[in-house]
Amino acid sequence: MCIFAKDLEFAWRPGATVVAVSEFELRLGDSVFLQGESGSGKSTLLGLIAGIIQATSGELNVMGRPLGAMNAAKRDAFRADAIGVIFQQFNLVPYLTLLENVLLPCRFSPPRAARAGPTNASRKDAALGLLDRLGLGAEAREGRAVSALSVGQQQRVAAARALIGAPSLIIADEPTSALDAASRDSFVDTLLEEAKDASVLFVSHDAALAPRFDRTESMADMNAAFAPAAKGA
């Protein structure tokens, strides 16, 4: 199992629960499309799964690791090793080149670096290979700065950075919201192809993408299904 959540609850403020998931599972190698209205708690759930924030209550295991029992430093290290995250705003580092951005996770995680390649040169080749398949090989070889890329190109850099060193789980938070329909479809197809050995959790409000995934979950349904003991009492 890649993700297992049970009675998972999170509130930004006391009494204002935004995530209340009775059960959620993502098996190794599966891809899930998580759909939901703006404000329904999708990004918060991804933050919990990525270990950026910690649940108020309940159980959350990622790759068998109980995130609730890990401190922030352990969760950060685990995220660097095992999870590739694509943020809505990309979070690329503007003063690094395109290639340096893609190789960033290898600097934070020795296991991830080792999976990308045994030497700096081989890791660079792995990054260039990924960028070639994402249609950015020429820009990377030119040493292009990320600030000199279009939004669609930046999104593909963010995808390459998430994929480098084969993390077990890829999390994507509305990565296509700035793309037109044709770029959106080809971005998702390339991402799923490159991540075919990983589990993928992809969040969007755009239902047109759902058929490309193994399964669809609705944030509203997941939240509605939760009935904590306190509510029934």
- Residues lying near ligand ADP in the complex (CB under 6 A) are found at 12, 18, 36, 38-44
- CB 49 within 8 Å of CB 171: yes
Residue 179 to residue 160: CA distance in whole angstroms: 17
Instruction: Select from Mg ion, ligand ADP, none the partner in contact with residue 176, using the beta carbon and a kind-dependent cut-off of 5 to 8 Å.
Output: none
**Short-list 179, 229, 232, CA closest to 57:** 229
Residue 89 to residue 199: CA distance in whole angstroms: 22
Does 153 bind Mg ion (CB under 5 A)? Our answer is no
Query: Please, which residues bridge with residue 215 across strands?
Result: 32
**Short-list 218, 209, 202, 126, CA closest to 169:** 202
Site string for Mg ion, 93-122 (x = CB under 5 A): ------------------------------
Instruction: Select from Mg ion, ligand ADP, none the partner in contact with residue 199, using the beta carbon and a kind-dependent cut-off of 5 to 8 Å.
Output: none
**Short-list 169, 160, 100, CA closest to 134:** 160
CB of 46 to ligand ADP, least distance (A): 8
Nearer to ligand ADP, 50 or 113 (CB): 50
Site for Mg ion in 33-62 (CB under 5 A): 42-43
CB of 173 to ligand ADP, least distance (A): 7
